[in-house]
Amino acid sequence: MNNYLEERCRIVDKALGGFLPTTKTRPATIHEAMRYSIFAGGKRLRPILCLASAEACGGNYEAALAPAAAVECIHTYSLIHDDLPCMDDDDLRRGMPTSHVKFGEGVAVLAGDALLTIAFEILAQVKATPRYDIGKFITELAVMSGSRHLIGGQILDLEGEGNDVTLNATQLKYIHESKTAALLTASIRLGGMTANATPAQLEALTIYGRSLGLAFQVIDDILDVTQTSEKLGKSAGKDEAKAKSTYPALFGLDKSRKEAARLTRKALEALKPFGRKGARLSDLAHYLLDRDY
């Protein structure tokens, strides 16, 4: 699995390098900041899932490179903004100083804005299929990264910080579905769409994505409690420090691990219609459940 992930990371990084302006493009500062955060490391989970989903639906990964790169730009922009002093106020991301520490707050805000914007420029280069025109690709990513999902989840997360009232399980699930699972699901759906996925295939990918996205966030919550900053490449223990409601805070570590396993089983169940073509998506689900960073 590690060899597969390393190979796909190289493919995604090459694509991103081609899509993004070089550091010699004027104004150089903004393009340096954009590329700094994009190439600061990271698992490239979302783009890799995008490529694997295309293949699960009988397509080829090359056709999914534009949406894969676009999603990674959206994800990285969200991390830059999340780390700002007015948000989570973090100085470490992917094992490196965060954008605002490296370049200052103003440049960091603009780098995030630029990555958000260029994501749609990149996505517009995807090839339409008989079932999905370019507008459907654009709408998919715009809705999942907008106020009803990614940004909405961040708002609810901010509003929940430091509150004396602990969120219940339904409220916490809604935040994570919006903030984490939505973009991850969009990655998977976009990959399937490049392969002209049938409605049944797209629905199966959606169930897989939502379940996997929630499992991923539960594991993230667990690792924030159990791992070091050096291992995670970001500040550990910040959820507790900011009095955030998390799965471990609500249920404890043991029950949280069981919930992650249950959600992963649900994701795997959704892959059955794909047979052997869904093997990589299955492998990725197991890998994410067992990860330690």
**How confident is the chain (293 residues) per 10-residue block, as mean pLDDT?**
93 98 97 97 94 98 98 97 93 91 97 98 98 98 96 86 64 87 97 98 98 94 78 54 72 92 97 97 94 74
Q: DSSP labels for 207-251?
A: HHHHHHHHHHHHHHHHHHHHS-HHHHTS-TTHHHHTT---HHHHH
What tokens appear for 115 in the block?
A: 């990555």
The pTM of this model reads 0.92
d(CA 206, CA 215): 14
Nearest to residue 80, comparing CAs of 69, 94, 66? 94
**If one looks up domain 2-290 in CATH, what number appears?**
1.10.600.10
d(CA 91, CA 85): 9
- DSSP structure class, residue 234: S
**Quick one: how far is CA 96 from the chain centroid?**
19
Residue 34 confidence (pLDDT): 98
Q: Max Cα separation, the chain? A: 52
Question: CB–CB of 157/175 below 8 Å?
Answer: yes
Question: CB–CB of 189/53 below 8 Å?
Answer: yes
- DSSP structure class, residue 60: -
Phi, psi of 60 (to 5 degrees): -120, 150
